[in-house]
Structure 1
């Protein structure tokens, strides 16, 4: 089995501004997984331009938390859950681990269902069969190839999401309503609005991204020959500045895609009274201004591409988290023979995601694949706040970070992010009872 050198949020090669721009655009598109696309499309269809403000509000949140995760991996030389394992009590580790693995698995299942539903637009096969085929292909690429192979195949296709930008302009949205929705925060204290708000926050700040980011910083050090913890600990301010730049580019592009998906679906679906998305075909209609009858194919290309990028990150992220929590060897640089438990976990998480996705496709759980994409975001919105708080605490701990603890500005933004997520989640719970 070949040695693997996966890089997700950024590559170290071609470190100039041009290389950073290319890496950022690609990774930004990959961050908008099928759950995100389904959530943003549902938000735009239901609330139109009134919910556009969520894009500029979540951008600094996305940048802050992903950068802190990157910084933790670079400075401590540990993955996220390895750091929790080494510095915090076991009871806290198990609580956070349960929430994160559950969230990752549910989102992976929703994404598999979303991919299958998108392929079903032009391949009339049974949805359970499509789910199984997609999962088998992704797992085979992980085991017999590498995440780098998956990335190289699908990352450029992920840029088809940029079609939402053109489609939004061609749909000719109302300028005044767009400006108002972008710059004026409009809140509704009811279950429907708060559900979408929690889903948006959950899918933009999904736990799999933090874990993957910190672990890939460690994997890059291992690839450079720094195989022991002592060798991996520490980084330069220059490397941290490079990380800030790359992550800012990536998160900005991801956020722009979010903005234009909401704007596009608001200007097409919402404006025509179609406020509830039940199928992939309905979601694809938002791309008709630019693609016409080929809108379904364009929508499917985007969803399939980002799904193939994101699902391996979720299943492998769960494997990283579990392996580090139990002290098992876990690295994509290790072969299946060298780290069998790690790859068994990936297989088990994938299998659970497949079963869940098939249950959704067969309507056993009471909602369709497009609704499942939104619900997976809600689950992430509930499961990630404790992990976010731990990341902030760890990156302020001098035992872990030395002299590279957070600045006051980063801490302010991080705690505002945590407060916003907790407030939205609590508001949603209250709305269920009222």
Structure 2
């Protein structure tokens, strides 16, 4: 009997160990597939079919490298990226980044709230979409203020399961897997404005600056709460890589299957323009059936509940670290009033966009523009910090990390240049 139990424990131990390692990297990667990201991936599939599937293979190693740098900075410095920028670099760099990043995050929050409200209304039409938006925002505020960091982290990890819904969807409809393989491994590039615009949008949505700040701060938070060893050794760094790589893999898998679903269903069904997440779900219903429609819609609500706390939290940590406020999701409201008030304000401003009838499409466009312009600057700073021995000591970037980081910088710079070109022409 004892031998049987010990055998079972040994068999389970690798899985249990793996699950325990998962944390900030998993949540960061999962939050990248928010409702606004879903719109971008859905539009890519609807407009160009399977032709952009290959982008998921490209963005995975690049995302993993950049977020890995952020995680290592958080572990080694035990502080957020904003603090590191404030202490070691000219203030104009930090203030410039904040000036551009804050509006983009607020618009991103607003687009996600609008998307969730629209999907809620679609599932139960008797309640208006704005009412859903208010209710969901109130629930998010309550969770963020009421629960300590450990509880919020656990909630976010469980919400990551909602992304699995999108991996199921493509298997509910007929697929030409030979074509899927072809477009996955053989890149398709068209030198026209529409195709290049969607590539820029995919990059801007996938490699987003707010993720850099969240990842770094959450690694520092895990240190502060004893989730990881205070001594940054090879084991801690190895576990961090597993966590980050798993999160980025999940993020890009969802992106891949989202493009696959909309590319094989909507594009083939003659639906070539998607402006909102509820529009994508509605378009799927007559073409792929009620089950696919319901899974897609429920996934939007789950990813929104996951992404919005990350967006609002990242913004508030950035502000608190810049101004020297007491900050931390582990603190009670009275211990960090300014920090929590800034979260509340960001959620309310995002919610207000719904009532001012701000177009979600325009919101996403402005968000993509600002992210696209700030990402190259931040990636350059991450590379500099990651190779700065004064900050990172013996844990500077590896050759592979630098190579992938530089590739990301060049690609995001090219995307930013293309974005500016599209706006001018």
Calculate the TM-score normalised by the size of structure 2. Answer: 0.88
SS at match of 1:272: coil
Q: Report whether the alignment pairs 1:249 with 2:246.
A: yes
1:218-367 superposed matches below 5 A: 218-224=220-226, 235-285=232-282, 288=285, 292-359=289-356, 362=357, 365=358, 367=359
- Distance (whole Å) between structure 2 residues aligned to residue 267 and residue 41 of structure 1: 11
Q: Please name the residue that 2:187 is paired with.
A: 185
Q: Please name the residue that 2:11 is paired with.
A: none
Deviation of 1:217 after TM superposition, in Å, equals 1.4
Q: Is the 8 A contact 1:158 1:306 kept in 2?
A: yes
- Distance (whole Å) between structure 2 residues aligned to residue 374 and residue 222 of structure 1: 37
Q: Which moved more, 1:246-255 or 1:73-82?
A: 246-255
What do residues 44-83 of structure 1 show as CA deviations (whole Å, max 9, x unaligned)?
1111111111100000011011111110000011101000
Deviation of 1:386 after TM superposition, in Å, equals 1.2
Deviation of 1:370 after TM superposition, in Å, equals 5.9
- Distance (whole Å) between structure 1 residues aligned to residue 222 and residue 29 of structure 2: 20
SS at match of 1:273: coil
Q: Which moved more, 1:198-207 or 1:160-169?
A: 160-169
Q: Please name the residue that 1:166 is paired with.
A: 168
- Distance (whole Å) between structure 1 residues aligned to residue 398 and residue 27 of structure 2: 29
Deviation of 1:199 after TM superposition, in Å, equals 2.0
Q: Please name the residue that 2:90 is paired with.
A: 89
In structure 2, do the counterparts of structure 1 residues 117 and 373 end up closer, same or farther at CA, with 3 Å as the change threshold? farther
Deviation of 1:33 after TM superposition, in Å, equals 1.4
Deviation of 1:107 after TM superposition, in Å, equals 1.1
Q: Please name the residue that 2:106 is paired with.
A: 105
Aligned residues: 411
What do residues 202-261 of structure 1 show as CA deviations (whole Å, max 9, x unaligned)?
2211222221111111112222399xxxx96x6112101110011112211221111011
In structure 2, do the counterparts of structure 1 residues 398 and 327 end up closer, same or farther at CA, with 3 Å as the change threshold? same
Deviation of 1:354 after TM superposition, in Å, equals 1.4
Q: Please name the residue that 2:41 is paired with.
A: 40
In structure 2, do the counterparts of structure 1 residues 370 and 269 end up closer, same or farther at CA, with 3 Å as the change threshold? farther
- Distance (whole Å) between structure 1 residues aligned to residue 375 and residue 118 of structure 2: 27
- Distance (whole Å) between structure 2 residues aligned to residue 247 and residue 281 of structure 1: 30
Q: Which moved more, 1:25-34 or 1:393-402?
A: 25-34
SS at match of 2:272: coil
Q: Is the 8 A contact 1:171 1:289 kept in 2?
A: no
Unaligned 5+ runs, structure 2: 1-14
SS at match of 2:273: coil
Q: Tell me how large the CA RMSD over aligned residues is.
A: 2.8
In structure 2, do the counterparts of structure 1 residues 374 and 185 end up closer, same or farther at CA, with 3 Å as the change threshold? farther
What do residues 107-127 of structure 1 show as CA deviations (whole Å, max 9, x unaligned)?
111111111111111232333
Q: Please name the residue that 1:410 is paired with.
A: 401
Q: Is the 8 A contact 2:74 2:217 kept in 1?
A: yes
In structure 2, do the counterparts of structure 1 residues 240 and 263 end up closer, same or farther at CA, with 3 Å as the change threshold? same
Deviation of 1:106 after TM superposition, in Å, equals 1.4
Q: Report whether the alignment pairs 1:393 with 2:389.
A: no
Match of 1:424 among 394, 403, 415: 415
Calculate the TM-score normalised by the size of structure 1. Answer: 0.86
Q: Is the 8 A contact 1:121 1:297 kept in 2?
A: no
In structure 2, do the counterparts of structure 1 residues 190 and 290 end up closer, same or farther at CA, with 3 Å as the change threshold? closer
SS at match of 1:50: coil
